[in-house]
Amino acid sequence: MRPYLCILGARFRVQLQYRAAALAGTLTQLFWGLIRVMIFDGFYRSSTAVHPISLAQVVSYVWLSQAAFGMLPDRVEPELRDMIRTGNVTSELLRPIDLYWSWFCRCLAMTLIPTLMRSGPLLAVAFAFLELQTPPGAASVLAAAAAFAGGMLVSSAITALLSIGLFWTVSGDGLTRLSVAAAYLFSGMVLPIPLLPEALQRAAALLPYRYVLDVPMRLYLGHIPASEAPMHLAAQLAWLLVLVAAGRGVLSRGLGRLVVQGG
């Protein structure tokens, strides 16, 4: 366990150097959130029908998703990409630790740390001035906390899988881009999942992306009652196991066909 914690710690110190970038990121997220809230507000004011999620909940959903934006699996780990491109990956192979978990930790650090740095100030502003709701009860708080932690792991497993896919350069790049597009739509980042048309909601249910953002956020809002949390957390765990197993499988096949030329 210790070497993995060391990797996380070292990555944490690297990321802390980019405090100005974190501040700029927070401001950008605030601006985007404002645009999205005004658009949803416009749509809700144009219609008198009852919708599957209320405007107040949508507003909170937007602010949570802006705060958790860093959790979205929307890129590969840049250093892994460079290592695979340049052939430096060979030095990774020499380390006496499990390669998959050490890469998983890198991906986790890449998602976890910027999210922690950026979400705090944004959530504070959203609570104080922008009508971010508090969860309906202690059970929802606990369920959401567990689901956000799980979502972070699912997101890292997706990032790890995509990064490993870069062993197959061109097709790996293509898969990454497709996955990023799917992540935006099916995690609830573009639209809250309950507002999607039926067919797309069914597609979202079959994919892991909603367990990264949508499910944790709706548990927080109480839109998914805390009593249903165990079922969703179990599904999230199942996805995590599947993604980890897939990542390990792809990694061992990638290493099997890896050829690095001269030094």
Partner 1 sequence: MRDAFTLYLRYAAISIRSQLEYRASCAMFAAASFVISAIDFCALWALFRRFGSLQGWKLQEVALLYGMVNVSFALAEGFARGFDSFETMVRNGGFDRLLVRPRSTALQVAGQELQLMRVGRLAQGALVLFWAAGELDVHWSVARLALVAAAVVSGACLFAGLFVLQATLAFWTTSTLEIVNTVTYGGVETAQYPLDVYRPWFRAFFTFVVPLACVNYLPAHALLGRGGVFGAPAWLNWIAPAMGPAFLAAALGVWQMGVRRYCSTGS
Should residue 178 be labelled a site residue for partner 1 when binding is judged by CB under 8 A? yes
Q: Give me the least distance between CB of 245 and partner 1, in Å please.
A: 27
Q: Considering the rule CB under 8 A, would residue 41 count as an interface residue with partner 1? A: yes
Nearer to partner 1, 210 or 248 (CB): 210
Q: Judged by CB under 8 A, which of 5, 9, 28, 245 binds partner 1?
A: 28
Candidates 109-117, 169-177, 216-224, 242-250: pick the segment binding partner 1 (CB under 8 A).
169-177
Taking CB under 8 A as the criterion, the residue among 12, 51, 99, 246 binding partner 1 is 51
Span near partner 1 by CB under 8 A; candidates 129-137, 142-150, 178-186, 215-223: 178-186
**Binding test (CB under 8 A) with partner 1, winner from 44, 116, 133, 225:** 44
| Residue (of 52, 213, 58, 45) closest to 130 by Cα position | 58
Shortest distance, position 80 Cβ to partner 1, whole Å: 18
Stretch that binds partner 1, among 1-9, 65-73, 82-90, 180-188 (CB under 8 A): 180-188
Instruction: Give the interface segment with partner 1, choosing from 120-128, 130-138, 173-181, 231-239 (CB under 8 A).
Output: 173-181
Output 174 or 230, the one with its CB closest to partner 1: 174
Is 173 a binding residue for partner 1 by CB under 8 A? The answer is: yes
Stretch that binds partner 1, among 1-9, 120-128, 147-155, 181-189 (CB under 8 A): 181-189
Total chain residues near partner 1 (CB under 8 A)? 34
Q: Rounded distance, CA 76 to CA 159, Å?
A: 6
Q: Does 27 bind partner 1 (CB under 8 A)?
A: yes
Alpha carbon 213 to its chain centroid, in Å, reads: 7
SS3 of the chain: CHHHHHHHHHHHHHHHCCHHHHHHHHHHHHHHHHHHHHHHHHHHHCCCCCCCCCHHHHHHHHHHHHHCHHHCCCCCCHHHHHHHHHCCHHHHHCCCCCHHHHHHHHHHHHHHHHHHHHHHHHHHHHHHHCCCCCCCCHHHHHHHHHHHHHHHHHHHHHHHHHHHHCCCHHHHHHHHHHHHHHHHHHCCCCCCHHHCCHHHHHHHHCCHHHHCCHHHHHHHHCCCCHHHHHHHHHHHHHHHHHHHHHHHHHHHHHHHCCCCCCC
Q: Which of 116, 195, 203, 207 binds partner 1 (CB under 8 A)?
A: 195
42 binds partner 1 (CB under 8 A): yes
Long-range pairs for 31-35: beta carbons < 8 A, 24 or more residues apart: 32/66, 33/62, 33/63, 33/66, 33/122, 33/126, 33/130
Q: Which residues bind partner 1 (CB under 8 A)?
A: 21, 24-25, 27-28, 31-32, 34-35, 38-39, 41-47, 51, 170, 173-174, 177-178, 180-181, 184-185, 190-191, 195-197, 200
